[in-house]
Amino acid sequence: MSEVIEGDSKPVTPKRVYRSAAEKRRIVEATFVPGTSIARVAREHGVNANQVFQWRYEYRKGILGEAKSRAKLLPVVVEEAALSSVDTTAVPPPQKSAGICIEFPGGISVRVDSETDLHLLRTVVEMLRS
């Protein structure tokens, strides 16, 4: 986009803005909020939406440096004493439910049934993608 100033025959082009990796990460992470429009985030930061898509690609590949972790899995410890105190007679037998199996590259598969917590599923899928 060029702008001509009266009395000046040369077009004036806007000065290029160089953004740090941290600023690019911040803009990309703003696009991960559910319901957020990438084009709107780009306009708010004065960036072309195509550039934000490129930064998102670089973010996923780790090119923009250390990404802020969005979800963490916690270690779980099961103690033998806790298992022996469980009354298994009170637990109803499992019922068959509809489900699917999602296979990821690297031989990882996740089985999802009709009673799966969608928030938990989203967290697991995001962790497997990164």
Is residue 4 a part of any domain in this protein?
no
Measured CA to CA, the distance from residue 39 to residue 30 in angstroms comes to 11
Do residue 62 and residue 25 come from a single domain?
Answer: yes
Confirm whether pTM is higher than 0.85: no
Mean of pLDDT values over 105-117: 78
pLDDT at site 28 = 92
pLDDT at site 80 = 67
Domain extent, residue 79, equals 70-83+99-130
DSSP state at residue 33? S
Is residue 26 a part of any domain in this protein?
yes
Do residue 64 and residue 107 come from a single domain?
Answer: no
Do residue 77 and residue 118 come from a single domain?
Answer: yes
Q: Which residues neighbour 19 within 8 Å (Cβ) at sequence distance 6 or greater?
A: 27, 47
Is residue 5 a part of any domain in this protein?
no
Mean of per-residue pLDDT scores for the chain = 78
Q: How many domains does the chain have?
A: 2
The SS3 call for residue 108 is strand
Measured CA to CA, the distance from residue 73 to residue 51 in angstroms comes to 32
Do residue 77 and residue 114 come from a single domain?
Answer: yes
Do residue 114 and residue 75 come from a single domain?
Answer: yes
Q: What is the pLDDT of residues 46-105, one digit of tens each?
A: 999 999 999 999 988 888 877 556 666 777 777 666 556 666 666 666 666 677 787 777
Do residue 76 and residue 27 come from a single domain?
Answer: no
